[in-house]
Structure 1
């Protein structure tokens, strides 16, 4: 008989079998789960689902209980009356308590994994639906709150989960297309950064050299755990400089987030600081996920962004790290798509499954989602020859 077990703490998870079955995704393994549990946004709490048959672990799921507030969703000040009216309209549907099967703080499918040789996708999904129902009841009992929205997030177009579209439909979920994930494949022929540059057109190779020239006075070094703790306040403020300018957001990280990840992930979490003279003026972070580099949060001082082209240089540095360390893919995520395409990233379509627990609202969810996820007009760049 296939059953499930809910865990509210990473300490209670059966570590060895859990990490064995999650070996393909660092975001599902206990070191990351432990690190993030100690440094989650204050509006997010966790549940972990183990799916078993005769005490054998067949699959896992990570479910986030998220409390959404208007002040976190829309952070830019000075919006026009019209935009503010739209924001207030959307917030009426979004604010409150939601469940996310996956990771709201990172782009990608990092919420589910199961052994396909031991359990079918239909069986696994049926059990996850049951676990979600229990989580809803627990939240209602303990918090006196009703879950308003349930979300399975970030599936690529070729993900086998889409074979279960009838199961999602039976549960009243909508399949919705979201902004693409920007991925850059590292070619086997790129044995050095020069090989990468040689595949570029003259225009984009010149763009690379111009950007590099603008960072001449910037010193870059990797930040270890002690340095991250000492510079925690500076790193956090740099992160906030970028985060607060996002038009739409669902969380704010706590200050200890970066050094907590470094403490638990060790060499699988990298933070590189950008120094002007003696001052830390920017940083970017990476999570090393098997043969993929997952670009993580970054930050910078606004007054150095244009002068030194910090953001563009960070994108190049991420690509160079992947090339030099023999990774296969750089996951650039879903923001700033045009500039990311200029360094070689390609858009990959992604989907989510959503359900509003109020049947009436759920019937018009796709229309509401258009306000949440407006299509972005952008021009894909093509930096490589041919």
Structure 2
């Protein structure tokens, strides 16, 4: 059965059956896509791909173009020669990047089908879509340097590698930290009781540090009135990450609340009535997706704010009967200390210059920050 695709540049153009096809993934449904359309990072342009069998829409996918020249910082935490070299390489040989998938989140969120499609067809369709968008930019006198297919679970990556992805460089960056919640945990107390003594003590100690901090979910009106402060707290954390390819727009969180309503939760942390931190969540079926957060560095140190945010997100997941929580990349050790486990995700990448592309296996590992961390095992052995 041959498939065709149409690439859309605005939500208004999407077929009416789009959300029916994307029903299993909130990150591909129109409310979230409208968030991207209305408040994407300034250096990002999104494309929405409809995949058809004859006239019927059977698949949806997302692509994102990033112009790294518009970025003021790739991340300021690691100031060393390797970082300067990496930044030079990105500016000159990799500043126009096309992602098939969502570069803003971790997980296999790039496409969804409403029927079984073989991996051969999927690999060919994704590659054809990438080629079509690359040609579109060529007509605009923009050369796409790098094309990346983002975040596949291992079994899926292995399949794609057998077909159209065979010649691409495949890579694993930091793992996705995923917490499969135990069915026997009905309350937060059940979760705490499952800890070994060391980690129960950690929980009590961090909880005690939070004295004076109040937390509450913010309404749309409250998000709007705190917009500048929320952005300030987010930006502080984002700027100090080891590597960035985008910064969110100032109105991102209010737009998210407006579009997704109760499925988007922004929880504020207050000290003497002043907002000193926040975390966000997206309710995605039986999966709880953690999203961006922010905090005041001084308060975070004194109050163990970040660790308490992880505990609070877990509590929300248990009390609202989610099956798993996606904690994403970064801060792997502390996330493992609350129960999340590393799941490796595979990406595929190629450079449009065939000479550079041949060097990809040598170049890419040098650009990725090396990571040393120790996985924690917080629960009593059953």
Instruction: Tell me whether the two structures share a fold, i.e. TM-score over 0.5.
Output: yes
Match of 1:153? 150
State the 1:54 CA deviation. 2.1
The alpha carbon displacement at 1:149 in A equals: 0.6
Q: Give distance in 1, aligned partners of 2:242 and 2:359.
A: 24
Tell me the equivalent position of 2:279: 284
Contact 1:182 1:337 in 2 (8 A): yes
CA distance in 1, matches of 2:66, 2:226: 29
Residues 365 and 203 from structure 1, CA distance in 2 versus in 1: closer, same or farther, beyond 3 angstroms? Answer: same
Q: Summarize the Cα distance change of 1:2–1:75 in structure 2 as closer, same or farther, 3 Å threshold.
A: closer
1:186-205 alignment runs, 5 A limit: 186-205=181-200
C-alpha displacement of 1:106: 0.7
Corresponding residue number in structure 2 for 1:125: 123
Aligned to 2:137: 139
1:113-153 deviation digits (Å, cap 9, x = unpaired) = 22343x433223323322222211111112x1111111110
Residue 231 (structure 2) aligns with: 236
The whole-number CA distance in structure 2 between the counterparts of 1:82 and 1:146 is 26
Matches within 5 A, 1:52-63: 52-63=52-63
| Deviation by residue 1:154-206 (Cα, 9 ceiling, x = unmatched) | 111133x5312132345x32111221000111101101111101110000001
Give 2:158's aligned residue: 162
Of 154, 158, 176, which residue of structure 1 is paired with 2:171? Answer: 176
CA contact (8 A) 2:59 2:113 kept: yes
Contact 2:43 2:70 in 1 (8 A): no
Q: In structure 1, what is the Cα distance between the partners aligned to 2:330 and 2:190?
A: 27
Comparing 28-37 and 80-89, the one that deviates more: 80-89
Q: Which residue of 1 aligns with 2:7?
A: 6
Shift of 1:70: 8.1
SS of alignment partner, residue 294 of structure 2? strand
1:307 is matched with which residue? 302
Task: Say whether residues 1:371 and 2:369 are aligned partners.
Answer: no
How far has the Cα of 1:364 moved from its partner? Answer: 1.1
**Runs of 4+ with >6 A deviation:** none
- Is residue 72–residue 252 contact of structure 1 (8 Å, CA) maintained in 2? no
CA distance in 1, matches of 2:207, 2:261: 29
Query: Across the two proteins, how many residue pairs are aligned to each other?
Result: 380
Q: Distance in 1 between matches of 2:263 and 2:352?
A: 38
| Cα distance in 2 between the residues matched to 1:341 and 1:82 | 28
C-alpha contact (below 8 Å) 2:32/2:259 kept by paired residues: yes
Aligned equivalents of 1:330 and 1:280: distance in 2?
25
Q: Is 1:175–1:354's contact at 8 Å kept on the other side of the alignment?
A: yes
TM-score (norm 1): 0.94
State the distance in 2 between where 1:312 and 1:282 align.
12
User: Match of 1:360, SS?
Assistant: helix
TM-score for both structures, normalised by structure 2: 0.95
Distance 1:368 1:3, change over 3 A: same
Corresponding residue SS for 1:166: coil
The match for 1:107 is 106
